[in-house]
A and B are shown apart, each in its own frame.
Chain A
Amino acid sequence: MDDLKAKYLDQIANAADEAVLEDIRLAAVGKKGEVALKMRELGKMTPEERQAAGPALNALKDEINSALSAKKSGLADAALDERLRNEWLDVTLPARERPMGTIHPISQVQEEVTAIFAEMGFAVAEGPRIDTDWYNFDALNIPGHHPARAEMDTFYMHRAEGDDRPPHVLRTHTSPVQIRSMEKTGAPTRIICPGGVYRADYDQTHTPMFHQVEGLAIDKDISMANLKWVLEEFVKSYFEVDNVDIRFRASHFPFTEPSAEVDIRCSWEGGTLKVGEGDDWLEILGSGMVHPKVLQAGGIDPNEWQGFAFGMGIDRIAMLKYGIPDLRAFFDSDLRWLRHYGFASLDMPTLRGGLSK
């Protein structure tokens, strides 16, 4: 029996491929193999002999089987290794192109602004781009002869002959949304109104369409000090700095009283803006306490309610934050510009994760 074992284990060890191995298996442990034939002889043995030979034969069979399976997987491994040795790729070849889209800076910044003000409790209101001159001017305490009307370079809609109503305008600011929103929801309120506005002006710093965000907060006891806090918090959050000096400069807007223009402390070094340091001041927005006449126009009793409003340019703060030099390029849809200044689809600005990368 030891001969048998030595013979087959030797054959298995020397088998060159799986076919040889199968022949060995049949010859050794197949139905008609040598081990099977030996097992058939067990019946002729005495019980004593059988007790010794039976387990020995079984052990021999197990041993040959496991040697076969070990050799088999060894051969398979070797074959795989051999195949992989031939499967070589130039992995420096370029991958399949995946299209990469971008989000326009105006959309991105609008989302940033919305995220910040939402945190402070401001909802988002909207209104029409074409509006009546009442909503755009009169309701905001800008009567027909007011110099501000002329200064705003208003676009007017064509009026059909015989239609004697004053022409509608392309809204010159987002402020008419204040009025519409007051009419709709009354006081108290906290809203921002982002969107496109229009003025007939075109040069490096002016385009006939640009974007603003308007803010409005009305309550029983809102003061300019609250306005200053809101804007300080906004500027810190938006520009992602820990501290910022903001300066309220007395100014005039027909729809607020008192009014203030707001500057932030900054430095310009080598054409790069740094907010919160340096000796320059940069004007970023206009603001003030809502004029009683404007509250009235919105159907809110100015003896009972008071509040603040502010407005700033989305394109402008986008240019400042992201170092975009020319406003006109925002609207030119140049692929090179869109790819350079655009944002990835998943760069969603959040306060928990940060506004910018």
Chain B
Amino acid sequence: MKFTLSWLKDHLETEAPIDDILYALTDLGLEVEGVEDRGAKLADFTIGKIMSAEKHPDADRLRVCQVDTDEGMKQIICGAPNAREGITVVVAKPGVYVPGLDITIGVGKIRGIESFGMMASESEMELSDEHDGIIELDNGEVGQSFVDWLAANDPAKVDPVIEIAITPNRPDALGVRGIARDLAARGLGKLKPAQEVHFDGTFSCPVSVSIDDDTLDQCPVFFGRVIRGVKNGPSPEWLQDRLRAIGLRPISFLVDVTNFFTFDQNRPLHVFDADKIAGNALRIHKAKGGETITALDDKEYKMVEGMTVISDDNGVESIGGIMGGAASGCTEETVNVFVEAAYFDPVRTAYTGRALKINSDARYRFERGIDPAFTPQGVELATQMIMEHAGGEASDVVIAGAIPNVERAYKLDAARIQSLVGMEIPESTQRQTLTALGFKLEGDMAHVPSWRPDVQGEADLVEEVARIASLTKLQGRPLSRLTDGVPKPVMTPIQRRLVAARRTAAALGYNECVSYSFIDQASAKLFGGGTDVTMLENPISADMSHMRPALLPALLQAAARNQARGFADMALFEVGTVFDGGEPGEEHLQVSGLLIGRTGPKDVHGASRDVDVFDAKADAEAVLAAIGAPAKVQINRGAPEWWHPGRHGMICLGPKKVMGVFGEVHPRILAAMNVKGPAMAFTIYPEQIPLPRKSGASRGAMDISDLQAVERDFAFVVDSGVDALALVNAAAGADKALIDGVRVFDEFIGGSLGEGKKSLAITVRLQPRDGNLKDKDIEALSAKVIEKVTKATGGVLRG
């Protein structure tokens, strides 16, 4: 919303400096977004006087003028027809920038005669479109700054343009008068009394108006009147200045009048050319759907069933509350004008505007809610302005429907307001504030003014009182905790897990990424997603069409981008939410890591090597340990198809309880996603890890023996498909009391073993508890280990 200071002063009697006004606006909730100092661009123009003007010897239409300026007499060549001796003019000397021409004046020669500057027209200074001649001032001293002269003689031309942001609850502030009312309530001046005007018609209105019964909720009331015999044309200068200052293009007087009241009073109006209303009757009704109209923006719109439209015998002439039609609109030739002031329902207007994608000043206001009680005055004020400048004769006012009753009142609870705001605001001040804003107080009931549709309860009274009192003055007051003493921990176990997982992965060398929750369908499909249930209805681009089914696709895409930037080795991870469906709650958490390239750059120590599955496994295990997963797990196969079928493992607590997966990413996936592989990865499901059965922080007693532990090595030949873990578990089962641990330390395939066989070597660590082990104890145990392993895996001791 834009307005000028002088426009504001039409409604507000104030001597307040502009800075105070700006501060108050922002503080009141009418946030100042910008102030345009229109004088700035004219700062270098000065006033001069033409002392003599003679015809240019070589050009009929040019004059050689001697102009008195602040720098003495200057010779200026001028082509304006009105350049003549004795007039007071505006001079741009060499070096001055002329905004309307976008040039900087220099010293020039015109047809052989030197010229030291220029005398400006209004259009050259962007004051108006007037470019027929140079400016002639009635007064003004030679050498005076032209901006100063304007400020004194025609302030509307240069006073500041203020732009404020309007929150959706304040339609009243979409009119200058509403803004003035807020400032007056704050104490920055006095709101000037509202103009009450009334014109008796001298003839009955030739255009009749009706509202269909089923449309009264969409357009409850319509006021209109014909003014005949008007002379349309350009608006008076003051009106053009106003509109131009706020960024509107003056069109013709009748149209400009409607724009003026839209911004002056938040009262959108429409003017029909009465002679173009077919059948001299307007009907407000719901669109059937399919009707078309070419609106004032010269675009054609197709109506959807239920939209509020205004029709004559020719069909739809106007989209109620949004935009009029071109066919029945006013032109320079219009002599009989029909002025419309109606009230259109905000909700219906919002839906229609959204559906037709029309953003008009009228829609903006109707959908936020204008003052229904002001409807009759809207017509009268427009009548006054039209007749004053365009002449004519007003008819009776036609009225269809009735002004909707928005009367309501809420209890002013002064104590509660103080309790909510936390500021001392005496009840008398509260009442004064509300009264200044137009509320009528009866006892403790505050009747809401008709221009404040947003006030819908007691809480809204609090807001009004608080913002006028100024929240800036509020003093902070400590907030007590719910419990005294040292604050309790506030994070849930899952939240703590995510922090631990994140910090562990970073400690292991991974860089954390945060990627979008949406991804392209093709990538989503590679990871079991990309179906309609996770599809966005209105994605911002095709790259972000589906909710991600996993973290890996985005990490792989990031890897491809980083590879393209010349990074071959990387470790990326993400902790985040992924989506199983489209219903709330159909989501789960993942921690995924991606390893590509080598463990590090090649180095003098020869430590760098290609990453492999066991790096991913180690990292997965480290993260699992950090988030409290049980150490005893199964490693199963059979993870989804984006894993390499032979090179992955699921870390499980049972056949169905999968805590995580590690492995190599399937080469086909890498190819589809343009990633240079191989790539190792892990995904952990933090919510799948059982919560610890915690009964205190105690660790339990430490159980160690002072007797010396003994290690024995075994090598078994087994079928190559046998899992090492199965062999380890079998060996460990030989004597659970005595065996402290079993570790695989060698795997050997091929050689003399032959096809389909491998050798696994293990170290079994024995921890005696009752007495030192004798040779025969160890022999007995060895035999048992061999027996168990053979039974479980078919392995034989390697000779």
Interface centre among B458, B471, B572, B587 (most CB of A within 10 A): B471
Tell me whether B483 is interfacial, beta carbon within 8 Å.
yes
Q: Quick one: which of A120, A224, A339 contacts B466, CB cutoff 8 A?
A: A224
Tell me which of A155, A217, A247 contacts B472 (CB under 8 A).
A247
Min CB distance B577 to A, Å, is 6
Shortest Cβ distance from A151 into B: residue = B168
Please pick, from A159, A217, A228, the residue contacting B476 in the complex, using a CB distance under 8 A.
A228
> Total A-B pairs in contact (CB under 8 Å)?
288
Name which residue of chain B comes closest to A99, CB basis: B509
Q: Which residues of A contact B688 (CB under 8 A)?
A: none
Find out whether the CB atom of B462 lies under 8 angstroms from the CB atom of A257. yes
A186 within 8 A of partner (CB)? no
Q: Is the CB of B603 within 8 A of A123?
A: no
Residues A121 and B492 in contact, CB atoms below 8 Å apart: no
Inter-chain contacts of A1 with B (CB < 8 A): none
| CB within 8 Å for A344 and B347 given contacts A130-B547, A223-B420, A223-B422 | no
Contact (Cβ within 8 A) A114 B490: yes
A96 and B603 CA atoms in complex are apart in Å by 7
From 475 to 531 in chain B, residues with beta carbon under 8 angstroms from any chain A beta carbon are 475-483, 487, 489-492, 495, 499, 502-518
C-alpha spacing A230/B478, complex, angstroms: 7
Whether B490 pairs with A118 at a CB distance below 8 angstroms is: yes
The complex places the Cα of A148 from the Cα of B367 at a distance, in Å, of 11
Who on chain A is nearest to B349 by CB?
Answer: A145
CA distance A92 to B736 in the complex (A): 51
The answer to whether A331 touches B515 (Cβ under 8 A) is: yes
Size of the B side of the interface (Cβ < 8 Å), in residues, is: 106
B581 to chain A, nearest CB (A): 8
Stretch at the interface among A14-22, A26-34, A54-62, A248-256: A248-256
Partner of B604 from the list A93, A111, A224 (CB cut-off 8 Å) is: A93
Report the minimal beta-carbon distance from B218 to chain A, rounded to whole angstroms: 12
> Would you call A259 an interface residue if the criterion is a C-beta within 8 Å of the partner chain's C-beta atoms?
yes
Q: Any chain A CB within 8 A of the CB of B289?
A: no
Q: Mark A205-237, 1 if CB is under 8 A from B, else 0.
A: 001110000000101011111101111100000
Taking CB atoms, residues of chain B closer than 8 Å to A107 are: 502, 512, 514, 575
Q: Which residues of A contact B422 (CB under 8 A)?
A: 223-226, 228
Scan residues 415-474 of chain B and give those whose CB is less than 8 A from a CB of chain A.
Answer: 419-423, 454, 457-460, 462-463, 466-467, 470-472, 474
Min Cβ gap B368→A in Å is 6
Stretch of A3-11, A65-73, A195-203 lying at the B interface: A195-203
Contact of A282 with B by CB under 8 A: no
Majority SS at the chain A contact face: mixed
Are B583 and A111 in contact (CB-based, < 8 A)?
Answer: no
User: Quick check: A128 and B584 within 8 Å, CB to CB?
Assistant: yes
B567 within 8 A of A: yes
A170 proximal to B (CB < 8 A): yes
B34 at the interface (CB under 8 A from A): no
Is B376's beta carbon under 8 Å from chain A?
Answer: no
A-side interface size class: 35 or more
Report which of A114, A148, A292, A333 forms a contact with B457, defined as CB distance below 8 A.
A292
Given known A156-B536, A224-B474, A251-B167, contact A258–B600 (CB-CB < 8 A): no
Query: When the two chains form their complex, are residues A190 and B587 in contact, meaning their CB atoms are under 8 A apart?
Result: no
Most A Cβ at <10 Å: residue of B476, B492, B518 = B476
From B364, which residue of chain A is reached at the shortest CB distance? Answer: A147
**CB pair A208 B516 closer than 8 Å:** yes
**Interface pair B536/A257, CB less than 8 Å apart:** no
Q: Is A306 on the interface with B (CB-CB < 8 A)?
A: yes
A334 touches B561 (CB 8 A): yes
Separation of A333 and B544 alpha carbons in the complex (Å): 16
- Does residue A338 face the partner (Cβ distance < 8 Å to B)? yes
Are the CB atoms of A333 and B513 closer together than 8 Å?
yes
Let me know if A104 and B586 touch, CB within 8 A: no
A101 interface hit (Cβ, 8 Å): yes
Contact with A along B344-355 (1 / 0, CB 8 A): 001100110010
Q: Find chain A residues with CB under 8 A from B492 CB.
A: 124, 126
Chain A nearest CB: distance from B26 CB in Å? 6
A188-B419 contact given A101-B506, A225-B475, CB 8 Å threshold = no
A130 and B482 contact, Cβ closer than 8 Å, known pairs A157-B536, A249-B31 = no
CB distance from A337 to the nearest CB of B (A): 9
> In the assembly, what is the distance between CA of A3 and CA of B275, in Å?
151
B510–A101 CB distance below 8 A: yes
Cβ contacts under 8 Å, B27 to chain A: 249-250
**What residues make up the interface of A, taking CB atoms closer than 8 Å to B?**
93-94, 96-104, 106-107, 111, 114, 117-124, 126, 128-132, 135, 144-148, 150-151, 155-160, 167-168, 170, 188-190, 196, 198, 200-202, 207-209, 217, 219, 221-226, 228-232, 247-252, 254, 257-261, 289, 291-293, 306, 330-336, 338-339, 342, 344-346, 348
Query: 6 A-B residue contacts at CB 8 Å?
Result: A107-B575, A121-B482, A158-B532, A232-B476, A258-B420, A293-B457
In the A-B complex, the 10 residue pairs with the closest CB atoms = A99-B509, A225-B422, A223-B422, A250-B467, A121-B481, A229-B476, A333-B558, A250-B29, A252-B167, A97-B600
